């Protein structure tokens, strides 16, 4: 296990609302220390700028993420982990990643999250799981820059991921799974054409940070296992993906293609 720390030279505050704490029954647990054999720390220093009203120093937020299965001490292929990391990056918040081997989950990790799922992030002394809950809490406590999206646009592109999985797993070319995916991509293409370049217009939003990692998995997995590419007839989907994938936040948090391919192999073989 190892960590990668993103350390800013800024001031801010990190406080999780008691509402979140009480609702999810959060518990506290100390991770192994820096000199523990459980971790080999990899420090990455980056100058970030956070505009906050508080004056106390903001410590890096600790976050447990999937470890790579192909390269030691690298981020793995979980799109939900990347969603949270993208949120942290876009909000210029410092974070400290703890890489968890999901094939051999350590005891300390299961104690803080009995379900054994990632991502899990630490707010003060409390651990919070579920990317929906985490990103909502980050938006509430660190509203600048704003990433919230109007409710009427929150579900745009939300069915692409499930139809992608259906097509990837399919062994029957005529079962309609490819067409189901194309229908969802076509609807998304129309939305971006009328509203783009992002889901909510000119600025990136939480919806883009949720969908972007899933489209990254779609492109790599379908390209590898089915030799399938986004059709040229969907130019706005292609331009959207190029725009998202080229953002610094995405480049800093994307999984290795080899990990994405390895991660989807059980689905393909199942």
d(CA 74, CA 2): 8
Structural domain includes residue 37: no
Residue 64, pLDDT score: 98
211 is in which domain, residue-wise? 61-269
Please name every residue paired with 75 in a beta bridge, in sequence order, or none if there are none: 67
Tell me if 212 sits within 8 A of 255, measured CB to CB.
Answer: no
CB burial class (10 A; 0-12, 13-18, 19+) of residue 72?
exposed
Measured CA to CA in angstroms, residue 230 lies from 47, 87, 134, 182, 260 at distances of 36, 26, 31, 9, 17
d(CA 189, CA 238): 9
Domain count for the chain, please give it: 1
Residue 46, pLDDT score: 34
Please name every residue paired with 128 in a beta bridge, in sequence order, or none if there are none: 121
φ, ψ at 145 (rounded to 5°): -75, 150
Q: Which residues are catalytic?
A: 78
Structural domain includes residue 5: no
Strand 61-66, strand 95-100: pairing = parallel
CB burial class (10 A; 0-12, 13-18, 19+) of residue 196?
middle
Residues in Cβ contact with 175 at an 8 Å cutoff, skipping those fewer than 6 apart: none
d(CA 100, CA 76): 9
d(CA 264, CA 166): 12
CATH number assigned to the domain comprising residue 144: 1.20.1050.10
Structural domain includes residue 16: no
Structural domain includes residue 172: yes
Q: What is the pLDDT along the chain (270 residues), one digit of tens a residue?
A: 455 554 443 333 333 343 333 333 444 444 444 444 343 333 333 333 333 333 236 899 999 999 999 999 999 999 999 999 999 999 999 999 999 999 999 999 999 999 999 999 999 889 999 999 999 999 999 999 999 999 999 999 999 999 999 999 999 999 999 999 999 999 999 999 999 999 999 999 999 999 999 999 999 999 999 999 999 999 999 999 999 999 999 999 999 999 999 999 999 998
Nearest CA to 121 among 156, 160, 93?
A: 93
Structural domain includes residue 43: no
Listed in sequence order, the DSSP H helices in the chain are 18-24, 79-90, 107-112, 131-141, 160-169, 177-195, 206-225, 235-245, 248-253, 257-269
Q: What is the pTM of this model?
A: 0.82
Structural domain includes residue 151: yes
Structural domain includes residue 164: yes
Structural domain includes residue 32: no
């Amino acid at each position: 296990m190892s960590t990668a720390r993103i350390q800013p030279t800024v001031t801010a505050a990190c406080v999780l609302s008691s509402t979140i704490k009480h609702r999810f029954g959060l518990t506290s647990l100390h991770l192994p220390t820096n000199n523990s054999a459980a971790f080999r720390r990899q420090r990455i220093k980056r100058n970030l700028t956070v505009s906050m009203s508080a004056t106390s120093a903001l410590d890096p937020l600790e976050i447990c993420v999937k470890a790579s299965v192909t390269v030691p001490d690298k981020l793995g292929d979980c799109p939900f982990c990347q969603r949270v990391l993208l949120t942290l990056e876009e909000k210029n918040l410092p974070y400290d990643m703890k890489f968890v081997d999901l094939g051999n989950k350590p005891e300390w990790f299961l104690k803080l999250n009995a379900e054994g799922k990632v991502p899990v992030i630490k707010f003060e002394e409390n651990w919070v799981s579920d990317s929906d809950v985490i990103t909502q809490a980050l938006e509430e406590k660190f509203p600048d820059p704003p990433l919230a999206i109007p409710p009427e646009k929150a579900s745009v592109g939300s069915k692409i991921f499930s139809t992608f999985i259906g097509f990837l797993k399919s062994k029957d070319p005529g079962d309609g799974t490819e067409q189901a995916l194309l229908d969802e991509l076509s609807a998304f293409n129309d939305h971006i054409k009328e509203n783009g370049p992002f889901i909510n217009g000119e600025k990136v939003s939480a919806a883009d940070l949720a969908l972007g990692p899933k489209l990254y998995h779609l492109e790599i997995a379908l390209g590898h296992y089915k030799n399938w590419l986004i059709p040229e007839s969907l130019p706005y989907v292609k331009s959207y993906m190029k725009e998202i994938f080229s953002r610094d936040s995405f480049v800093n948090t994307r999984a290795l293609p080899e990990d994405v391919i390895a991660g989807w192999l059980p689905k393909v073989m199942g």
